[in-house]
Amino acid sequence: MIGQARFGRTGHLSSRTIFGAAALSKASPADADRALALVDRYGLNHIDTAASYGDSELRLAPWLAGAGRDRFFLATKTGERTYRGARDQIRLSLQRLGVSYVDLIQLHNLVDPAEWEIAFGPDGALRAAIEARDAGLARFIGVTGHGVTVAARHRQSLERFDFDTVLFPYNPTQLRDPAYAADVEALLRTCAERDVATQTIKSITLGPWVDRPADALTWYEPLTEQADIDIAVRFVLGREGLFLNTASDIGLLARELDAASRGGTRPTDVEVKSLLEGRGMTPLFA
């Protein structure tokens, strides 16, 4: 089983590893059943999906109905930037998931300056998220993002609105960038002060695809060997307060969950250097 921790001010005791349901975006019902069986086996009680994740919300619906809605902290995301677009997408997500509410609605990949201004404007997506929360369609509001500016952008977002959660890339390769590492540390300090839950993504990134296979399920090349995944997972979970969202490749889910279930201390600098250099790892975002 995978350990649990308090998910920030939400108060929910969430599994430290969160099921990244992007893995269900192109999954057949049979594949989805196999993935969700792993979620059950390892005791995950927190699911993260998004309106833009293909069939993910639809694949989750029958399983949520069968397992019981209250068993899981359920999060989804809207990538719309306007009030009307986000309002409609949030309601459609609830229909697709077959639920009356989600625990967390997140503004998806809100990093671009122009999109950021729209989302925070009087007719922006944030207004729709607040409206959904006030109407009981969502309990909490978060913000997510990719890229080298995301940590700094999240701090700006937290200055504009008191988000309950943030989500951003966190892995040893990306944190070799001194500027990004400094921004992440500043963000983590802010989140600790405000009791904001901190979710991480891209934990098992090897680097950008050089020659992406047609059947690739991740838009970056992932680590695939168990020993390598063990170190990458320990790098995240070995730091108190961080939650790890699993990758969008069902084939790697068992390896990630196996690593998370065994826990362990944060890897040493020697272990991390050996992994980075031994696998020729490169930053996903430059």
Please report how many Cα atoms fall inside a 13 Å half-sphere around the Cα of residue 75, on the Cβ side: 30
Q: Which residue has the tokens 């009087």?
A: 122
Q: String of b and e for 160-173 (b: at least 16 CB within 10 Å)?
A: eeebbbbbbbbbbb
* Residue given tokens 């934990």 in the structure block: 203
Report if residue 24 sits inside a domain. yes
pLDDT for 213 beyond 90: no
Contact (CB, 8 A) for 88 and 51 = no
- What's the mean pLDDT in 5-24? 98
Q: How confident is the model at residue 215 (pLDDT cuts 50, 70, 90)?
A: confident
Residue recorded with tokens 């671009």: 112
Cα 212 from chain centre = 23
Inform me whether the pLDDT recorded for 124 exceeds 90.
Answer: yes
Better-predicted residue by pLDDT, 44 or 218: 44
In a domain, 207, yes or no: yes
**Taking Cα atoms as reference points, which of 201, 218, 200 lies closest to residue 209?**
218
Instruction: Name which of 96-100, 128-132, 186-190, 213-217 the model is least confident about.
Output: 213-217
Half-sphere exposure for 59 (CA within 13 Å, toward CB): 26
Helix residue ranges, H only, 98-225: 113-120, 125-134, 150-160, 178-194
The pLDDT confidence band at residue 194, using thresholds 50, 70 and 90, is very high
Answer yes or no: is 237 within a domain.
yes
Read off the CATH number of the domain in which 104 is found: 3.20.20.100
Alpha carbon separation from 269 to 37, 42, 133, 275 (Å, rounded): 35, 29, 43, 10
Number of domains in the chain: 1
pLDDT at 222: 96
| Residue 238 lies inside a defined structural domain of this protein | yes
Contact 248, 21 (CB under 8 A): no
What is the model's pLDDT at position 117? 98
Beta bridge partners of 142: 106, 165
pTM above 0.85, yes or no: yes
pLDDT digits (tens, 9 = 90+) for 259-271: 999 988 999 999 9
Is residue 285 assigned to a domain? no
pLDDT band for 286, please (50, 70, 90 cuts).
confident
Q: Is residue 145's pLDDT more than 90?
A: yes
Residue 69 has pLDDT above 90, yes or no: no
pLDDT score of 54 more than 90: yes
Report the share of the chain in percent with pLDDT over 90.
91
- Tell me if 131 is assigned to some domain: yes
Q: If you write DSSP's letter for every residue of 259-271 in order, what string do you get?
A: HHHH--PPPPHHH
Q: Is 283 exposed, middle or buried (0-12, 13-18, 19+ CB in 10 A)?
A: middle
Residue 68 pLDDT > 90: no
Supply the pLDDT for residue 214: 82
205: containing domain: 4-278
199-224 average pLDDT score: 91
Instruction: Tell me the average pLDDT across 119-134.
Output: 98
Q: How many CA atoms lie within 13 A of 12 on its CB side?
A: 25
| pLDDT band with cut points at 50, 70 and 90 for residue 211 | confident
Burial class, 224, CB count within 10 angstroms (exposed 0-12 / middle 13-18 / buried 19+): middle
pLDDT the model gives residue 195? 98
Whether residue 283 lies inside any domain: the answer is no
Question: Mean of the per-residue pLDDT values for the chain?
Answer: 96
Question: Rg (Cα) of the chain, in Å, rounded?
Answer: 18
